[in-house]
Copies of this chain bind each other. A is one copy, B any other.
Amino acid sequence: MAQPGSLLTVGEVSERSGVAVSALHFYEAKGLISAARTRGNQRRYSRDILRRIAIIRVARDLGFSLAEITPLLKPIPEGQSPSAADVKEMVADWREAIQKRIDDLAELRDKLDGCIGCGCLSLTECPLRNPSDELAADGTGAVLLRQGEA
């Protein structure tokens, strides 16, 4: 077992973080984490890695992709314990992102309420059909579904 203050093996990190060894390798390949190596080429992590991994997982659970998480982690240098202030700042950003998602969903829900009575889902008129004009942008030839026909 590791002594207090010593480096952690990948297996220990996996066990403590609940993240599979293969996922840790994957995160390393993606540049999210890194580790020192022994002369025999095995990974050795400083304990800070656990907090870093915790942050990665929380952000991922919040719906951020790994690619999005990389810049989020920028303010937290590797090999250093992130300060409470660092974490505070990041978490504030996350809060904003979540709030935005809530707002989007609430807007959708309200539109849905307006639709419940109509049953229309018309291509150009139903607000549901164009949650954020995405389809309108790529559907170059969208045509009104005329009520008499459908």
Main secondary structure of the interface of A (DSSP, over half): helix
Chain B residues with CB under 8 Å of A138's CB are: 18
Q: How far is the CA of A140 from the CA of B14 in the complex (A)?
A: 10
Chain B residues with CB under 8 Å of A102's CB are: 102, 105-106, 109
A94 contacts the other chain (CB 8 A): yes
Q: Mark A97-123, 1 if CB is under 8 A from B, else 0.
A: 011011001101100110111111111
Q: How far is the CB of A128 from chain B (nearest CB, A)?
A: 5
Chain B residues with CB under 8 Å of A92's CB are: 116
A54 contacts the other chain (CB 8 A): yes
Task: Report the interface size class on chain A.
Answer: 35 or more
Q: How far is the CB of A100 from chain B (nearest CB, A)?
A: 10
Is there contact, CB below 8 Å, between A150 and B95? Answer: no
Is there contact, CB below 8 Å, between B119 and A87? Answer: yes
A139 contacts the other chain (CB 8 A): yes
Is there contact, CB below 8 Å, between A58 and B18? Answer: no
Give residues in A with beta carbon < 8 Å to B: 4-5, 15-19, 47-48, 50-51, 54-55, 57-58, 61-62, 81-88, 91-92, 94-95, 98-99, 101-102, 105-106, 108-109, 112-113, 115-123, 126, 128-129, 131, 134-136, 138-143, 145, 149-150
Pairs across A and B, CB under 8 Å, 8 listed: A47-B150, A61-B134, A84-B120, A87-B120, A88-B117, A88-B119, A92-B116, A95-B113
